[in-house]
Amino acid sequence: MRLIALLAIVFTCAAPGALAQNYAAREEVRRFIAQMVEQHGFHRGELVTLFSKVRHQSSVLRAVSAPAESAPRSWQVYRSRFVNPGRIAAGVQFYERHAQALERAAKLYGVPEEIIVAIIGVETVYGRNVGGYRVIDALATLAFDYPQRAEYFRGELEQFLLHARQEYIDVLGLKGSYAGAIGIPQFMPGSYRRYAVDFDGDGRRDLSGSVVDALGSVANFLKEHGWQRAQPIAFTARVVGERFRVLLASGIKPVYRGADLASFEVSVEEDVDPEMGVALIELESAGQVPEYRVGLENFYVLTRYNRSSFYAIAVFELATEIASTVAKQRGAAASIR
């Protein structure tokens, strides 16, 4: 079956405000099409037709290349966006609504329920904000009009077309983020193909329409990146002197051992396995003394979802608040009975 018929392409007009541009007429796009034909057996004419309907999105380029905010980097400001009463309350509701699927995912993949919930809470406010760009438009714009990362986004465009063919997706209908991330957990196409799972058993891996698939897929992503079952994530740390800066400079990957912390004048209240991998994380806020965390292997795994240490600690702290609230509510309900 030909690609266009297979994927039910029905949109023919650019989104409002989009800059009309015939990608199919561009030489670099034709080379990309030839690659897809040669390497993956796509039909040339169908891809030409498809790319004639793809539209350049100037707003994607503005979003991806926006200059850094003039305000200094601030952990407290970042944290307040994600770890706040509204997002905690919504997370508790989401947790309880999907408790059965979350419990199943936690048992199968070894990832705590609250971590799965918190990632989805940070990424899309529990599925409420999955993005409004056509994924094909965003990826094509970045693949062919953003030279700084063209190679990466051409790879993701390739993965998206393979994914669409495999999953019978309407290429021109699927919406996502300005970077081409898809669905409730915001997987890039390559991650979608590698780590998404059919967790609801309906024969499809649907991260846009199935919360259950999203839950299982987040857990599978973390497991495949090395999540350690029943192991801690991070500890609050205290530092003195200047030797801690050597540990800090080694980055977020836990390449030192717990036994090394004392030699760097770093301490935590918890007992740390002397052989456990550790990293020191600095959380700076303008005009305030930085906060520090000792990140363990599961902290590093969280940074595989998003390379920011702020992101990983925000997920961890949101998860902690959600789990604590759920436990209190369940305890109160049990006492009433």
268-289 pLDDT, tens digit each? 999 999 999 999 999 999 889 9
| Two structure tokens written together for 327 | 């436990």
Q: Give the Cα separation of 261 and 240 in Å (integer).
A: 12
Is 123 annotated as catalytic? Answer: yes
Looking at every residue in the chain, the average pLDDT score rounds to 92
- 16-74 per-position pLDDT tens digit: 333 446 999 999 999 999 999 999 999 999 999 999 999 999 999 999 987 555 467 89
Region 109-124 average pLDDT: 98
- 243-257 per-position pLDDT tens digit: 999 999 999 999 999
| pTM (predicted TM-score) | 0.91
Q: Give the Cα separation of 212 and 309 in Å (integer).
A: 27
Identify whether the C-beta of residue 95 lies closer than 8 Å to the C-beta of residue 113.
Answer: yes
Domain boundaries, the chain: 234-295
Q: Give the Cα separation of 125 and 155 in Å (integer).
A: 28
Q: Which of 46, 113, 114, 123 is catalytic?
A: 123
pLDDT for the residue 310 = 98
- From 4, 15, 20, select the one nearest 131 (Cα to Cα): 15
pLDDT for the residue 72 = 78
Rounded percentage of the chain residues whose pLDDT exceeds 70? 91
**C-beta neighbour count of 187 within 10 angstroms:** 26
pLDDT for the residue 207 = 97
Instruction: Decide if pLDDT at 164 tops 80.
Output: yes
